[in-house]
Amino acid sequence: MPEEIAEKKGGKIEEILNEMKAEGIGGALARKDGVIIHSTIALPDIAPGLITRCANISEAIMARMKNSQKEIEIAFANGTIVAVPMKNYIFYGIAKSKDEKRKVLEYSKKAGSVI
């Protein structure tokens, strides 16, 4: 499955991430195991794994509560990582404002239609 996205749909995902970057919002698409498929941001090697672990743990908690999640926010002093689970992947962006968060969610919908 990751090869399918990387080879067949990767160009469209990359286009979506570049469009988001043009608006000043860095982002990435990673598999749920933390492997980056495409990224417009430089992250330390451990960061994608931590982001996907947070998303996977919160997804498991929500499933146990017989609910589902639409997004995960990890807040920092200078921004928020907005992660959106989709199938076996997590689309995420780094937002510095509520408007940027809204844009990350809009771009995640575009990416979701490709996946």
CA distance 20 to 1: 24
Decide: 52 and 33 in contact? Cβ < 8 Å.
Answer: yes
Q: What is the pLDDT of residues 93-104, one digit of tens each?
A: 999 999 999 999
The residues, any chain, with a CB within 8 Å of residue 79's CB and separated by 6 or more, are: 94, 95, 96
Q: What is the pLDDT of residues 37-79, one digit of tens each?
A: 899 988 766 677 788 888 888 888 888 999 888 899 989 888 9
Distance of CA 87 to the CA centre of its chain: 12
Instruction: Give the residue extent of every domain in the chain.
Output: 2-114
Q: Give the global pTM.
A: 0.82
CA distance 18 to 25: 9
Domain with residues 2-114, CATH architecture: 2-Layer Sandwich (3.30)
